[in-house]
């Protein structure tokens, strides 16, 4: 396998690289990681430097001239979306980054001879999850409201998925879509807009764990080790033209999550809520139905949420 990995220096990318290196990359596999600033990344994460089968190239998915058109690849895993810093972009900038970047990488895949292409999409393509729908299946027809600019991320991911279908039909590229939900792991940013990351940060550094809302939303969290295994499995074995939800089916409220983080990382601290719950309002849900990935590919979560947080404590909190 000659793999091109975009977004290789973000949360998804680091998870994939750690997974590949931990399991020892097969001798017939090479990985090219596209990064806007590989030197800065390797200076910060030196464990990825000097790996014989991993090469880092400078490039930007939105700058066609910077892409490795002269290379040959068999597989492309497109994970380059700035979800961490995305809120600092305007909705139009977010849309252009996702749609234009995906088209560029799809065209690069075709030009460099790739047979398989995996797009990391998002559960955000489904729009608001109905309160009476316990988990969203891949054939759920919902979508984000078109007239609301703040749905640009979900709208762009839908457009990116459609581009995959178009390129598959036009060029025979075997495209697979991973609709990703929420994750946890030692590479998770602690100062972004991820609730679990903020709770971990507060547990480590603040006098209390602060919940900015009322704690009633329901979420699930898949560990980044499982995330990496799922993505690589979908890249190689997913059915062309199909989408698969990627996430956990262990449901927890944000309030219970805050208390669980507290109990594992800082038992002496208290949890503070900034908004009192309105019992008359239906709970916000963001929960995937993962039966398709389990039944077709045998994928499942090997680490539960409690184990994931304990693993985080061991790898980050207790590291000298």
Q: Where are the domains of the chain?
A: 2-183+223-247+290-297, 185-218+251-287+302-317
Matching fold, domains 2-183+223-247+290-297 and 185-218+251-287+302-317: no
Q: What is the pLDDT of residue 318?
A: 54
**Cα distances (Å, whole numbers) of residue 29 to 3, 16, 74, 109, 130:** 7, 14, 10, 17, 43
Q: Mean pLDDT for the chain?
A: 91
The CATH number given to 185-218+251-287+302-317 is 3.90.25.10
The number of beta carbons lying within 10 Å of the beta carbon of residue 165 is 13
Read off the pLDDT of residues 99-132 as tens digits, 9 standing for 90 and up. 999 999 999 999 999 999 999 999 999 999 998 8
Read off the pLDDT of residues 30-49 as tens digits, 9 standing for 90 and up. 999 999 999 999 999 999 98
Question: What is the rounded CA–CA span in Å between residue 194 and residue 47?
Answer: 26
Question: What is the rounded CA–CA span in Å between residue 221 and residue 313?
Answer: 16
Q: What's the pTM?
A: 0.93
Q: What is the pLDDT of residue 131?
A: 87
Model confidence at 21: pLDDT above 70? yes
Model confidence at 273: pLDDT above 80? yes
Contact partners, residue 142, CB within 8 Å, separation at least 6:
126, 127, 128, 129, 130, 136
The mean pLDDT of 291-299, rounded to a whole number, is 97
Read off the pLDDT of residues 137-166 as tens digits, 9 standing for 90 and up. 999 999 999 999 999 999 999 999 999 999
Model confidence at 86: pLDDT above 70? no
Point out which residues pair with 136 in neighbouring strands.
288
The mean pLDDT of 69-74, rounded to a whole number, is 96
> Which of 78, 100, 62 lies closest to 177 in space, CA to CA?
78
The mean pLDDT of 8-31, rounded to a whole number, is 87
Higher pLDDT, 292 or 9: 292
The CATH T-level fold of domain 2-183+223-247+290-297 is Rossmann fold (3.40.50)
Read off the pLDDT of residues 207-263 as tens digits, 9 standing for 90 and up. 999 999 889 999 999 999 999 999 999 999 999 999 999 999 999 999 999 999 999
Q: What is the pLDDT of residue 263?
A: 95
């Amino acid at each position: 396998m000659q793999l091109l990995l975009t977004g290789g220096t973000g949360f998804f990318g680091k998870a994939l690289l750690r997974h590949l290196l931990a399991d020892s990359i097969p001798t017939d596999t090479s990985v090219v990681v596209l990064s806007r600033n590989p030197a800065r990344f390797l200076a910060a994460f030196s464990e990825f430097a000097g790996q014989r089968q991993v090469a880092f190239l400078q490039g930007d998915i939105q700058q066609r001239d910077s892409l490795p058109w002269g290379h040959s690849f068999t597989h492309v895993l497109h994970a380059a979306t700035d979800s961490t810093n995305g809120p600092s972009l305007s909705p139009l900038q977010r849309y252009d980054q996702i749609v234009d970047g995906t088209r560029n990488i799809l065209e690069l895949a075709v030009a460099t001879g790739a047979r398989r292409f995996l797009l990391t999409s998002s559960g955000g393509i489904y729009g608001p999850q109905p309160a009476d729908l316990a988990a969203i299946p891949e054939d759920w027809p919902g979508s984000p409201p078109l007239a609301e600019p703040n749905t640009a991320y979900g709208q762009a991911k839908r457009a990116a998925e459609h581009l995959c279908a178009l390129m598959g039909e036009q060029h025979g590229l075997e495209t697979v879509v991973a609709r990703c939900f929420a994750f946890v792991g030692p590479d998770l940013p602690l100062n972004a807009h991820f609730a679990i990351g903020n709770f971990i940060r507060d547990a480590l550094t603040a006098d209390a764990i602060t919940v900015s809302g009322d704690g009633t939303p329901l979420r699930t969290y898949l560990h980044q080790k499982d995330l990496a295994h799922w993505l690589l499995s979908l890249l190689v074995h997913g059915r062309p033209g199909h989408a698969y939800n990627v996430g956990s089916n262990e449901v927890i409220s944000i309030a219970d999550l805050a208390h669980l983080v507290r109990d594992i990382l800082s038992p002496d601290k208290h949890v503070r809520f900034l908004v009192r719950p309105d019992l008359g309002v239906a709970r916000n849900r963001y929960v995937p139905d993962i039966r398709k990935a389990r039944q077709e590919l045998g994928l499942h979560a090997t680490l539960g949420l409690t184990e994931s947080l304990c693993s985080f404590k061991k790898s980050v909190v207790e590291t000298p």
